[in-house]
Structure 1
Amino acid sequence: MHNNKTHSHHLDEQSVADLPAHYRHGIHAVLVASLLALLAGCGGSSGEATTAPKPEPVQPVKPSKPASINVSNFKDNDTIRYSLPILAGTVSSEVKSVSITTTEKVYVADVVEGNFKAVIPLHVGANDISFSAGGQSGNIRINYVAADNPKKVRMMYAIAADDDGRFVAEAGMPNSMEDAKTRIALQALLMQSATAEMLYKGASQRVTYALVEDGYGKPIISTLRLPLTRAQLYAKTDNEIYQAIANALQAEPASSNFKNMVTMGFSSYQNGKIVGHAALGGGNLGIFGSLHLYACPASLDQLSASFGNAKKIDALVLPDDSGNRETYWAQCATGMGASLHELGHTFDLEHTPTGIMSRGFDNFNRLFMLREPGFAPVLTTQNEGGAVWDPISIPTLVNSAWFKR
């Protein structure tokens, strides 16, 4: 008998089974009706029946587009008047290198923390350069117009009257006069490129001087034979050596359109002492010794290895003019940078508080590299130390007749 006082709102299967048949049929009907009402009310808080929304069509997942490789210091279709631009850019930090393709060659540049630098030779005309690394890509066009400025820098190699032109080098290293000229020709291009890149950083104007070149656009390194022997030159002061070279130039075809940058092949190292070396510039003449050439590259392919060579200089055998850093890479950097410093004087630049016209020439390598032995920070274009033109120097250079846009 059903007792209302003990009524529970829960009926189990056995309880329903014990009821008379007409009760069981009624309960089932109530339950079905309640369930239908509940389902109809799921469409909203009002309890009114609503139509269930149609499911959104599933869109196929498209593969993400690979990130592009960006060149940060050149714009597409830029035009320059020198053949060896320094390209700097960014790429995914996961990759270790980037391939750079021109119509002539494929180059590989190291990537450090998502940054890369590369020195890429151009041919006259439009140069389409493509980049690829880890599924990423990029491209840029740089136009190279041969310099037509009649005012040029003439690179020269001075030798003594009794000299065959050999430069100081470690045993077994090729060091003939032709070997010297090969290294100086590359140095000339790097100095020219460095000048342009530093002016771009300091004045947003990528201008530089023109070089005396052959019909193939390669720097000509002229030989300047002095009327003095090595012994006579070694007995002279720096200023006297400068004057001896200036006097010898008077016998050369005169041209007011030349600035002469002379590397002294007769510089030597005797009994632990540097002789026949000087670093001076002004007027139409800059001079610097050849004692850095043993540490410098003979080809562009050797550039990174030379500026990354942490080998210690054996001062018992070879001269050390590295700014007290005592390593091959520093010897090369200081020699090239100091040569540009002396050439800067011929453009009427004075010494400055910072930059190349100070001791910043020791950082010449940083323009081309992302790493420096013994120096932890990455050498991005914003972190190249003294490899800049001081603001004092910039107006003189950009307004010079020797610098043409």
Structure 2
Amino acid sequence: MKIKVYNVGDREVVSYHIILLLGEIEDCLDDGVLDVWNSSDRSGRRYQWPVVEGCFKVLMELKLGENILSVQFEDEVLTLSLIFEEPKIAHFVRPVYIVLSDDDGYFQGPDDEDCSPTSAIRRITLGAQLIQTFTAEKMKEHGFGRRTFQLETGDDNSPLCHLFRSKLTTEQAYAMSGNDLWSHFAKELMTSHLRNKDKCKWYCFMSFTRYQPPSDTDIPKTHSEILRYTKGHTALGGGGLALFGTGNLHTWAESLEEVYARLTDCRKINRRKYMDDSAYREYYWANYATGLGASLHELGHTFDLAHTPSGIMARGFDDLHKVFTIQRLRSNGRSSCSSGRQRYNSNSSSISRTPSSSSIEGSPLSMSLDANQRRYKDVCYGSPYKRISRSSSSNSIYIAPPPLVVKVETGFKPVKSPSMLTFSVKNYDGSETHKTIAQDPAGETVTELNVATDGKLFSGRATRRDKMSLGFGIKCCYSSSERRPSSCSSAGSSASLSPTSSTPSTLPNSPEEPDLRLPDVQFADDGAHWYRSSAVVLRFHRWFNKASTDDPRKNPVLSNKCHILSACGLRLVELRTDPGGLVFHHWEFLHETPPLDFTLKRSRVKAIPEGTTTATVMAEDTYGNILKKRVKIDDFE
């Protein structure tokens, strides 16, 4: 047997604290345990990580300088050297735990959980490091190297999380809406000792989130019902502030050795006592994945990212757990659980035989995996990025994810007489799609109507297909893109704006009720990735790059309504719906000599959303200077 790590090379240089190692035990399909340690860590601590069907994912903390990592499986030991260098990026992200003036700072959670402010700070700090690692890995998939944002650190180079004491009282805070809380804390932070207007993005969590359903009512079942009984909660990001509640913070890991156990914790949330924000999956692991992923989504808005058709800036953040855990491809038949999957127990050297979060058969969210697809070992299973070869990461090709396919009905027989089939599909965002398929001997006519949550028709179309056999059944194919994304600012780059000068964006499509179709859905693309245009934005963003003396600090400009000019070279031009801010087209310029100008032309846009009359154009130059401007589609050449 031989231990192989695929995603990290020996002597590789990284600039963040926690490294993710993905690999396998060659010629091994069994389960087991890895012992992993960092010889450069004076504490001498050893960590154990699970091997699942011969594959493993390991998280290890790095120290400044050279790190000698040892990975041991049985008698085999792999030694890997990694260099941790300070990135020297002036801009940083500052985690903050917000406590009210008359509150003790404890967050809500079970009695057997440490819900103290000290524990909250540890959980938030680790969570910030995990999304930093996630971003680095996913940027590498796009061919941009392990580029990521930087966290504020102390004198010992360890990431910090501040406890901020607000002047608000509990009574005042609970009387405020999410937008009011965002605006208040943005102003309060800007005038506090933590102020750092031009260099800092705030990644903030409110300690006072409380879920309190009445005892004499039925257990809340829908997302809107859960929010109705939750006080002090929001999920908003924009400008310099990402603000999130702590309703599921008790499901987060407090230390690195807890991560795998927490992300595979199959206990169900008691909705009578605790907030369930898991996209109706109900498990502890799902609350951790959704909570951590949603906080990254909101932080993404502070990096000038808009909502996207897929990925973290859509609802893809629900899949964040899949990056750090292993999805089992086969049932081993050795478990008493119906799923045959495992959860790693961080307190023991053994593997606990409880169902895994990664893919749970028999649960309401059973998702089938293609047996011909490996969950490979260098990227999260289902990533939209496909690799030419394991060694050619720099020459990688991005392939957009295919649409989600829902099999509605099969086994139709050809008929000679006219026939008609009508069916409706409830979409994840609460809207509905109604289809009528009329058959006659010459072919079929498909009429599709899309109805918003308020009952209004927002699109419709009819398609005629001649001489089509019905013998192959009917499939309904639709995009998983958002229909109700929130607004985005049309001002300049938020890199130069205070939190209060930008309109915050919330999460897309917070579901109003469970999606009963989910057991039949096959996700061709897991959502834990950066959409391509988002990755390009981050590639050149100020929070991801060292400052340059050549930077003129001047944003690109829009001339003659459709002509974009930049003295430093354009790297990205992105079109977003208005209002809404959903990306529907982009152009990227990654070569050494990017264009200094770009003309918006209708012929350059593959598909403009139906009914769109205006759009927001976002343009970014080589140094991360950003233009955001509302334009009329009729002004395109």
Normalising by the residue count of structure 1, what TM-score does the alignment of the two structures yield?
0.80
Counterpart in the other structure of 1:258: 200
Counterpart in the other structure of 2:273: 317
Counterpart in the other structure of 2:305: 349
For 1:217 and 1:361, the matched residues in 2 are separated by 28
One-letter code of the match for 1:88?
L
Shift of 1:205: 1.2
Confirm or deny that 1:102 pairs with 2:100.
no
- How many equivalent residue pairs? 339
Shift of 1:143: 0.5
For 1:311 and 1:84, the matched residues in 2 are separated by 27
- 1:89 is paired with a residue of what secondary structure? strand
One-letter code of the match for 2:360?
F
Shift of 1:219: 1.9
Q: Do 1:262 and 1:287's aligned partners in 2 also have CA atoms closer than 8 Å? A: yes
For 1:284 and 1:329, the matched residues in 2 are separated by 29
Counterpart in the other structure of 2:514: none
Counterpart in the other structure of 1:202: 142
Counterpart in the other structure of 2:323: 367
Q: Do 1:202 and 1:391's aligned partners in 2 also have CA atoms closer than 8 Å? A: yes
Q: Do 2:230 and 2:275's aligned partners in 1 also have CA atoms closer than 8 Å? A: yes
Confirm or deny that 1:219 pairs with 2:155.
no
Select the residue among 383, 386, 400 that pairs with 2:381. 383
Q: Do 2:47 and 2:257's aligned partners in 1 also have CA atoms closer than 8 Å? A: no
Q: Do 1:297 and 1:303's aligned partners in 2 also have CA atoms closer than 8 Å? A: yes
Deviation string for 1:188-223 (max 9, x for gaps)? Answer: 111111111111122341011111111222221112
Q: Do 1:320 and 1:331's aligned partners in 2 also have CA atoms closer than 8 Å? A: yes
Confirm or deny that 1:71 pairs with 2:69.
no
Worse-superposed segment, 139-148 or 361-370? 139-148
Deviation string for 1:78-126 (max 9, x for gaps)? Answer: 1011010111011132552333232133322211222110001111111
Select the residue among 510, 529, 538 that pairs with 1:397. 538
Q: Do 2:33 and 2:73's aligned partners in 1 also have CA atoms closer than 8 Å? A: yes
Greater Rg, structure 1 or structure 2? 1
Deviation string for 1:364-396 (max 9, x for gaps)? Answer: 111111144243657542415211101120111
Deviation string for 1:285-337 (max 9, x for gaps)? Answer: 11111112111111111111111101011011111111111111111111111
Counterpart in the other structure of 2:346: none
Q: Do 2:13 and 2:84's aligned partners in 1 also have CA atoms closer than 8 Å? A: yes
Q: Which protein is richer in helix relative to its size?
A: 1
For 1:325 and 1:274, the matched residues in 2 are separated by 19
Worse-superposed segment, 364-373 or 285-294? 364-373
Map residues 125-204 of structure 1 onto 2, 5 A cutoff: 125-204=65-144
Shift in CA distance, 149/139, structure 1 to aligned 2, threshold 3 Å: same
Q: Which protein is richer in strand relative to its size?
A: 2
Worse-superposed segment, 201-210 or 287-296? 201-210
Counterpart in the other structure of 1:238: 178
Deviation string for 1:7-28 (max 9, x for gaps)? Answer: xxxxxxxxxxxxxxxxxxxxxx
Deviation string for 1:43-82 (max 9, x for gaps)? Answer: xxxxxxxxxxxxxxxxxxxxxxxx4311111111110110
Deviation string for 1:112-146 (max 9, x for gaps)? Answer: 22211000111111112222324444222111012
Q: Do 2:323 and 2:380's aligned partners in 1 also have CA atoms closer than 8 Å? A: no
Q: Do 1:195 and 1:208's aligned partners in 2 also have CA atoms closer than 8 Å? A: yes
Counterpart in the other structure of 1:302: 258
Shift of 1:157: 0.8
Select the residue among 237, 243, 268 that pairs with 1:281. 237
One-letter code of the match for 2:110?
E
Alignment RMSD (CA, Å): 1.7
Confirm or deny that 1:124 pairs with 2:58.
no
Q: Do 1:202 and 1:388's aligned partners in 2 also have CA atoms closer than 8 Å? A: no
Deviation string for 1:137-196 (max 9, x for gaps)? Answer: 422211101232121100001122211111001124221111111111111111111111
For 1:106 and 1:294, the matched residues in 2 are separated by 25
Q: Do 1:183 and 1:299's aligned partners in 2 also have CA atoms closer than 8 Å? A: yes
For 2:360 and 2:213, the matched residues in 1 are separated by 32
For 1:331 and 1:218, the matched residues in 2 are separated by 27
Q: Do 1:224 and 1:248's aligned partners in 2 also have CA atoms closer than 8 Å? A: no
Worse-superposed segment, 188-197 or 102-111? 102-111
For 1:342 and 1:203, the matched residues in 2 are separated by 24
One-letter code of the match for 2:33?
S
One-letter code of the match for 2:258?
Q
Q: Do 1:369 and 1:379's aligned partners in 2 also have CA atoms closer than 8 Å? A: no
Shift of 1:251: 1.7
Percent identity among equivalent residues?
33
- 2:156 is paired with a residue of what secondary structure? coil
For 1:155 and 1:251, the matched residues in 2 are separated by 17
For 2:248 and 2:130, the matched residues in 1 are separated by 15
- 2:150 is paired with a residue of what secondary structure? strand
For 2:57 and 2:45, the matched residues in 1 are separated by 17
- 1:208 is paired with a residue of what secondary structure? coil
Shift in CA distance, 379/314, structure 1 to aligned 2, threshold 3 Å: farther
Q: Do 1:98 and 1:109's aligned partners in 2 also have CA atoms closer than 8 Å? A: yes
For 1:315 and 1:167, the matched residues in 2 are separated by 17
Shift in CA distance, 109/172, structure 1 to aligned 2, threshold 3 Å: closer
Worse-superposed segment, 313-322 or 374-383? 374-383
- 1:324 is paired with a residue of what secondary structure? coil
One-letter code of the match for 1:366?
K
Select the residue among 3, 9, 18 that pairs with 1:84. 18
Select the residue among 292, 297, 306 that pairs with 1:336. 292
Shift of 1:400: 0.9
One-letter code of the match for 1:280?
L
- 2:288 is paired with a residue of what secondary structure? helix
For 1:392 and 1:145, the matched residues in 2 are separated by 28
